[in-house]
């Protein structure tokens, strides 16, 4: 029998159902959306979801960035390796999410909200761009009491790696800090994704509160640039930004910090803190993919993080973990939305 995991990996963020369709300029304009963006829905966006379903042949796909990452990591890891935590409603959407995760072998520990519906993310695809507009609903009601409940906290204590989606900084900072503190106190690994430019711009203070705990921080080039701007770094050079992030003060000095910045089809930049305080940067080319193989790039970053974190859970070296991220991102780009191919491929 194949060996099984021991739920080494805990991921925390917003479980969402993606309502994804190919759209057009007129649709983006109607709701005031940018072609490539991720935002929180305001009142003016709330008709988008029905519009996508009624008029654009939208598909319902399991989403939520860190939930995609958790499914991706579990895709690679032995059974029973990953747990995903977040808040949903008591409705058919959360049933769908649960089923999709179960099929992927991902254990979920959802908090069920009595009143609010499961969160939705409208995804409008135009060419290789995707505009995401999220109505968090129940996902926004996550509470630290759930994390600290005996059943969930015992999983936290047993785990070795924590991966928190930065989008959760809009939801429950105390829960993020509880995982961060647990990691620092027990020399476990704490990873955070920057998630979206708006997190770096408008959630700067909570983001900065988590910074001392980052053993790994993952983002893309637009998030790195937003970080640099909101933190007055006075540079648009990705290596310089990654270096600055690597040098930020760190709580657990037993682990060096590693910063990973993906750049679409351009090489991934990695910056690693050295014991003498200097920072080494490296570049890793992505796995080539032909135009005809691209289905859509929604979720590619989540898939990269899933492959990478699987490598870290398995104790692989940095070069291999980055390569595992590039590999899983390529597989996901060939699928519709943030999904992974079945039958399973192995790295
Ligand atoms: C708080 N926000 C805005 C969000 C998200 C989000 N996941 C969590 N919180 N906005 C978009 N997503 C997810 O990003 C994935 C693609 O990277 C979408 O659900 C989509 O699956």
Report the chain's mean pLDDT, rounded to a whole number: 96
Residues 264 and 220: beta-carbon distance below 8 Å: yes
Q: Estimate the crossing angle of helix 92-103 against helix 65-76, to 10 degrees.
A: 20
Of 221, 227, 222, nearest to 248 by C-alpha is 227
Task: Look at ligand 1, atom 2, and give the residue with the nearest C-alpha.
Answer: 167
Q: Ligand 1 mean position to 26 CA, how many Å?
A: 23
Nearest-angstrom CA–CA distance, 222 and 151:
38
Name the residue at shortest CA distance from atom 4 of ligand 1: 167
The number of beta carbons lying within 10 Å of the beta carbon of residue 127 is 10
- The answer on pLDDT for 277 being more than 60 is yes
List pLDDT tens digits, range 143-167.
999 999 999 999 999 999 999 999 9
**In the predicted model, what is the mean pLDDT of residues 238-251?**
98
Residue 302 known to be catalytic: yes
Measured distance CA(63)–CA(68) in Å, rounded:
6
The token pair at 220 is 């893309």
d(CA 183, CA 214): 10
Pocket of ligand 1, beta carbon within 6 A? 13-14, 16, 18, 38, 40, 63-65, 68, 121, 132, 134, 136, 165, 167, 170, 298-299, 301-302, 338
Pairing between β-strand 107-113 and β-strand 82-89 as defined by DSSP bridges: parallel
Expressed in angstroms and rounded, the spacing between residue 280 Cα and the centre of ligand 1 is 31
Please pick, among 113, 135, 302, 323, the residue that the annotation labels catalytic: 302
pLDDT of residue 2: 58
Burial class (CB in 10 A: 0-12, 13-18, 19+), 282: middle
Long-range contacts from 317-320, C-beta under 8 angstroms, 24+ separation? 318/258, 318/270, 318/272, 319/284
Long-range contacts of the stretch 224-233 (C-beta < 8 A, 24+): 224/194, 224/261, 225/197, 226/197, 226/198, 226/200, 226/201, 227/194, 227/200, 229/200, 229/201, 230/200, 230/201, 230/204, 231/204
Query: Is the model more confident about 128 or about 38?
Result: 38
In this prediction the ipTM stands at: 0.94
- Confidence tier at 320 by pLDDT (50, 70, 90): very high
- How many whole angstroms from 65 Cα to the centroid of ligand 1? 5
- Determine the pLDDT at residue 51: 98
- Residue 148's H or E segment, with its range, is helix 144-148
Within its chain, how far is the Cα of 208 from the centroid? 18
Nearest atom in ligand 1 to the alpha carbon of residue 13 is: 8
- DSSP, collapsed to helix, strand or coil, labels residue 107 as strand
Q: What is the mean pLDDT of residues 314-334?
A: 97
What pairing do the DSSP bridges indicate for beta strands 216-220 and 189-193?
parallel
Structure tokens given for 204: 């700067």
**What's the mean pLDDT in 27-41?**
96
With tokens 């600290």, the residue in question is: 148
C-alpha to C-alpha distances, 135 to 42, 48, 140, 188, nearest whole angstrom: 8, 10, 9, 33
DSSP letter for 336, please: S
Q: Could you tell me the pLDDT band of residue 128, with boundaries at 50, 70 and 90?
A: confident
Query: Shortest CA distance to 100 belongs to which of 54, 149, 61, 44?
Result: 61
| pTM (2 d.p.) | 0.97
C-alpha–C-alpha distance, residues 178 and 8, integer Å: 17
Ligand 1 pocket test, candidate residues 59, 63, 133, 138, most atoms within 8 A of CB: 63
Distance CA 241, CA 22 (A): 34
Q: Are 214 and 190 in contact (CB under 8 A)?
A: yes
For helices 150-158 and 173-185, angle between their N-to-C axes, nearest 10 degrees: 40
Long-range pairs, 340-344, Cβ under 8 A, ≥24: 340/71, 340/72, 340/75, 340/104, 340/303, 344/75
Mean pLDDT across the stretch 62-68? 97
Say which residue, 56 or 275, is predicted with more confidence: 56
% of the chain with per-residue pLDDT over 70: 99
pLDDT at 1: 44
State the distance from the centre of ligand 1 to the C-alpha of 275, rounded, in angstroms.
35
């Amino acid at each position: 029998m194949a060996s099984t995991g021991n739920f080494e990996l805990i991921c925390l963020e917003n479980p969402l159902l993606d309502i994804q369709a190919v759209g057009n300029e007129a649709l983006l304009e109607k709701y005031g959306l940018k072609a490539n963006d991720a935002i929180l829905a305001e009142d003016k966006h709330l008709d988008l979801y029905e519009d996508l379903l009624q008029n654009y042949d939208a598909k319902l796909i399991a989403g939520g960035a860190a939930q995609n990452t958790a499914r991706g990591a579990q895709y690679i890891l032995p059974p029973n390796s990953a747990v995903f935590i977040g808040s949903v409603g008591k409705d058919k959407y959360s049933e769908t999410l649960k089923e999709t995760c179960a099929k992927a072998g991902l254990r979920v520990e959802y908090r069920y909200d009595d009143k609010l519906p499961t969160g939705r993310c409208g995804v409008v695809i135009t060419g290789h761009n995707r505009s995401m507009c999220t109505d968090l609903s129940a996902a926004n009601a996550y509470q630290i009491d759930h994390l600290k409940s005996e059943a969930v906290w015992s999983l936290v204590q047993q785990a070795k790696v924590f991966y928190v989606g930065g989008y959760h900084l809009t939801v429950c900072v105390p829960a993020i800090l509880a995982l961060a503190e647990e990691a620092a106190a027990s020399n476990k690994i704490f990873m955070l994704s920057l998630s979206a430019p708006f997190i770096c711009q408008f959630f700067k203070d909570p983001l900065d509160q988590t910074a001392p705990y980052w053993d790994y921080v993952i983002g893309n080039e637009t998030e790195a640039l937003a970080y640099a701007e909101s933190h007055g770094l006075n540079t648009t050079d990705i290596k310089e930004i990654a270096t600055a992030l690597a040098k930020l003060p760190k709580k657990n000095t037993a682990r060096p910090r590693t910063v990973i910045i993906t750049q679409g089809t351009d090489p991934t930049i990695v910056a690693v803190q050295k014991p003498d305080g200097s920072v080494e940067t490296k570049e890793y080319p992505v796995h080539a993919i032909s135009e005809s193989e691209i289905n859509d790039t929604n979720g590619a970053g989540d898939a990269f993080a899933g492959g990478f974190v699987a490598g870290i859970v398995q104790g692989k070296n940095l070069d291999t973990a980055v390569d595992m991220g590039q590999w899983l991102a390529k597989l996901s780009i060939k699928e519709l939305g943030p999904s992974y191919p079945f039958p399973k491929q192995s790295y």
